[in-house]
Amino acid sequence: MNDRVSERVETIEVSEREAGMRLDRWFRVHFPEITHGYLQKLLRSGQVRVDARRVEANARLETGAKVRVPKAARAPREGAPGAKAEVKGTSEADRALIESMILFEDDDVLVLNKPFGIAVQGGTGTRRHIDGMLAGMVDRFGDRPRLVHRLDRDTTGVLLVAKHRQAAAKLGRIFQTRSAAKTYWALVKGVPKPPQGKIEAALVKASGPDGDRIRKARPGEQKEAMHATTHYSVIDRAAHKVAWVSLKPVTGRQHQLRAHMEMIGHPMIGDGKYNGGDTEPVIENVEPKLHLHARRLIIPHPAGKAKIDVSAPLPEHMLTTWDLLGFDPRRFDSDDG
């Protein structure tokens, strides 16, 4: 290979920890700047290959497989189709908001306490979001911070952000190997029986009049189904009306916790998409907001330092509900249930 070609192309070997990962997910971990659409273009033109073969974005990678990565994927030019749009400087109000969210920060990692009602990423009709705010604060962080995982718009709590590409790649692999321990708190209708259990139900995305919704896979849908496992535990209850539950997802599927709790007959209070929106027949004077909070995250540090262990305080609407029901979140300040 001559020098000119070697400058344009590199080959990256798939590690043992990445075995089974989809190619598009692998690219999100290693090259977060690349859009899905541009990756598809590179695949169609044969510029991205696996073991010298053309593949599709959903191809599963094996240990030792060699991924051909062109320069266009490693460093898309400003304004090129594969480069995410440049975000202008973040407003002073949004800068102050980001600063107020910070629970933990070092040279590699940022942990935020995401508020209710703010999107993590942009989408159709969504212009203001955390990813965009962070992108406009390169002067503050020294690089473009990169999201490592996601929370729904109305879910609050711990949100992990990498402060540079190397940390993003390492943290992505950590999540892929399920080495991150996540704890969520939620208020659900009724009281689950038994009070501790495991929910295992494969999930699929289905379109409906109110947008996409996650549901249990049906016979014949195995190809599209995503395996999902959640451990739950009842922490406290208010008679037989509602329960405060601790949720520990093993997998990280979209809407997994909300869908799983609905499947066992205990939807989350304030969750209109998954049958928890009508709170009045269950309990009065509760704000009609989703009661789901990413309470705690424990994860190996990407630079090999001591583990990151961060907890986020309950948001205002959940604190108000906890006070109304006589629940005391301080009981779990040390072990989080």
pLDDT (mean) for 248-256: 92
Whether 4 contacts 137, CB under 8 Å: no
Domain borders along the chain are: 3-74, 92-174, 181-332
336: number of Cβ within 10 Å = 16
Rg over alpha carbons for the chain, rounded to the nearest Å, is 21
Whether 253 contacts 226, CB under 8 Å: yes
pLDDT (mean) for 301-318: 95
Encoding tokens for residue 128?
Answer: 């203001």
Domain 92-174: give its CATH code. Answer: 3.30.2350.10
42 contacts: CB under 8 Å, gap ≥ 6: 48, 70, 72, 73, 82
pLDDT over threshold 90, residue 302: yes
User: ∠ CA(74), CA(21), CA(213), 5° rounding?
Assistant: 105
Pairing of strands 66-70, 9-13: antiparallel
Tell the CATH topology of 3-74: 3.10.290
Domains 3-74 and 181-332 share a fold: no
Which residue shows structure tokens 């004077």?
A: 285
pLDDT (mean) for 34-42: 82
pLDDT over threshold 80, residue 16: no
pLDDT over threshold 50, residue 78: no
pLDDT (mean) for 321-337: 80
pLDDT (mean) for 18-34: 79
Annotated catalytic residue within 94, 108, 152, 271: 152
Catalytic status, residue 108: no
DSSP state of 43: H
Domain 181-332: give its CATH code. Answer: 3.30.2350.10
What integer pLDDT is reported at residue 196 of this predicted model? Answer: 97
pLDDT (mean) for 13-40: 79
Whether 192 contacts 232, CB under 8 Å: yes
| pLDDT tens, position by position, 218-250 | 888 877 888 899 999 999 999 889 999 999 999
Encoding tokens for residue 221?
Answer: 């849908």
User: ∠ CA(103), CA(106), CA(107), 5° rounding?
Assistant: 145
- Among 166-180, 243-257, 278-292, 300-314, whose mean pLDDT is lowest? 278-292
What integer pLDDT is reported at residue 18 of this predicted model? Answer: 74
Confidence of residue 83 (pLDDT cuts 50, 70, 90): low
